[in-house]
Structure 1
């Protein structure tokens, strides 16, 4: 099974269109959204293609394929526009026997993750910086941001598969980070 992982859209319609095109090409069956879907937030510059209503409409077309968590810029008002649940602080799924913990990354962080079994994957967004690595007994995965990347990184998305974590450039699909799940 392959999951497409996307975070920090921040209402950027062009970024979402590129991300969904990448999802369609990827062969992934589900989209994992890690929050900050519609609003840009007070610390971020307004994205050039800022159109939260159109972003909500486009995301709703994929509602059956989306598992989402709430970001620090998401609110109850956003849920009124979106047809899938977006207000859960975290979610979990399993790939085989491996636990995958999904959150935005502002409450649980890589420095303060929840208690998870060895070999689990901690998946978060929030920092807008891609990560795919093993740290101690956990695997850390952050797809970066499709809209407002930071620290000189390109806009990016992730693929979560049974045997690896991969972060790819949103525009040219080059691998930015990769980690084998051992």
Structure 2
């Protein structure tokens, strides 16, 4: 039997997308799930999401930037983090607080953003005009400089955009895309919109063949209606529309 691992990231409280992805991962017979963080921030189902994640005994997880944010004092939180934090128990918060920033599993490195920052896009960049563009290979390689030397696969999330590239060194950098939020807006480093254009849940599949990994990006259609309703009831059309369409712009 092949050594088959799944890679997930950026669930953002979308437990229905997560359950659909878990069902597909289990159908494929994956022995391990690598989870790149940002579990709950959003106006959806934070507690349900962490209940599902914490129940898995085949998962290795690191934290994302929003996993740190939701643990801050409530009065300091933005609206997406605040509504999620209000749903969490102390057990949930303790689990999030214990997550590492990065991990190395055999020759596979896990982080949320880059090896040095959970707030930096690795495979994408934002221009001064606010356009989100693919980051070039040499710039991606520069950001890989502090990753463990033995890592042949470098995993990141954060942008919610699936992409795989191979570096000149032979190492591969992979972003599986987002399980739960296909489009969003942000103001750092300048105002910009990230949108995949596909409402399906996303993950990646890795299969070891001798000494190398075969990798593929996967999409899982699911019924988003309950999550859309939660977003609308929380007065968040900026979440409801992306969940329906995969686009932030109307």
Does the C-alpha gap of structure 1 residues 53 and 169 become closer, same or farther in structure 2, counting only changes over 3 Å? same
Matching residue of 1:178 = none
Distance 2:16 2:216 in 1: 22
Q: Kindly indicate whether the alpha-carbon contact (under 8 Å) linking 1:59 and 1:82 is maintained by their aligned counterparts in 2.
A: no
Aligned-pair CA distance for 1:30: 1.1
In the superposition, the TM-score normalised over structure 2's length comes to: 0.57
Residues 21 and 115 from structure 1, CA distance in 2 versus in 1: closer, same or farther, beyond 3 angstroms? closer
Q: Which deviates the most, 10-19 or 133-142? A: 133-142
1:60-104: per-residue Cα shift (whole Å, max 9, x none)?
221x1110001010037478317867520000011xxxx211000
Offset of residue 58 of structure 1: 1.4
Q: Which moved more, 1:113-122 or 1:152-161?
A: 113-122
SS in 2 for 1:67: strand
In the comparison of the two structures, how many residue pairs are matched? 159
Give yes or no for contact 1:7–1:33 (8 Å, CA) kept in 2: yes
The answer (yes or no) to whether the contact 2:108–2:151 under 8 Å persists in 1 is no
Q: 2:9 matched to 1:27?
A: no
My pick for the range that moved more, 107-116 or 19-28, is 107-116
Structure 1 length normalisation: TM-score? 0.77
Structure 1 gaps of 5+ residues are 41-45, 173-182
Is 1:93 aligned to residue 105 of structure 2? yes
Secondary structure at the counterpart of residue 37 of structure 2: coil
Give the Cα–Cα distance (whole angstroms) in 2 for the partners of residues 7 and 13 of structure 1.
Answer: 13
Q: Which has the larger radius of gyration?
A: 2
Question: After superposition, where does 1:37-116 map in structure 2 within 5 Å?
Answer: 37-40=39-42, 46=43, 50-62=44-56, 64-75=57-68, 77=71, 80-81=91-92, 87-94=99-106, 99-105=107-113, 107=117, 109-110=122-123, 111=140, 112-113=143-144, 114-116=146-148
Q: Contact 1:66–1:84 (CA<8 Å) still a contact in 2?
A: no
5+ long unaligned stretches in structure 2: 72-87, 124-139, 183-194, 223-250
The answer to whether the 8 Å contact 1:60/1:83 transfers is no
Contact 1:29-1:65 within 8 A present in 2 as well: yes
Q: Deviations over 1:127-150 (max 9, x none)?
A: 111112212212011110011123
Q: Distance in 1 between matches of 2:48 and 2:218?
A: 25
Q: Does 1:152 align with 2:145?
A: no
